[in-house]
A = this chain, B = another copy of it.
């Protein structure tokens, strides 16, 4: 098990409805030393890739992306959620449906901070059905930049997102892939990597 899988096994809480709560260390309280170790692992997995920028989405991706960016020596851009449909020409935007909040957000990135010269690593905390991630990929592609890879902390392997993104040919590196959970016993099955 890697550092993240060990931590999920120790502190993750399984709730009914395939909910995995990791707010103790990942998305409310944040263990930044763990994020540094995750950064080192992604650095190994994306070795040889020419990455000059990290892209993430507010809010819970930002802390992971910022610490990981220190390891890569590159800046971060975070996509903002905007209720307004009335976005002017200064932004790339994509519509994203939230699995957790059951609503649709417009996600925007300023055209100043993504250009065709950028080689982007996308970082996020969770991957389930892949809606947020597809929105980020569309934004990178609109700008003419290149998606060099995608780093996800926790992938829900029993949902469609991971398969869909890998089928599109992207290098998707999820540090923990959860193939099953049992709320009654609290047990979590990780995919062998």
Contact = CB atoms under 8 A, between A and B. Distances in A.
Contact of A63 (B31, B33, B63, B113): B63
Contacts of A25: 75
Given A28-B113, A110-B28, A63 B76 contact: yes
Interface in A19-34: 23-25, 28-33
Most buried by B among A31, A63, A73: A63
28 contacts: A23-B110, A28-B77, A28-B109, A28-B110, A29-B75, A29-B77, A29-B110, A29-B113, A30-B78, A32-B67, A32-B69, A32-B70, A32-B76, A33-B73, A35-B66, A58-B58, A58-B62, A59-B59, A59-B62, A62-B62, A62-B63, A62-B66, A63-B76, A63-B78, A64-B66, A66-B67, A67-B67, A67-B70
> What secondary structure prevails in chain A residues at the interface with B?
mixed
A83 to B, nearest CB: 10
A62 to B, nearest CB: 4
Nearest to A56: B63
Contacts of A31: 75
A1 to B, nearest CB: 21
A65 interface: yes
Interface in A43-69: 58-59, 62-67, 69
A102 interface: no
B75 A28 contact: no
Contacts of A109: 28
A7 interface: no
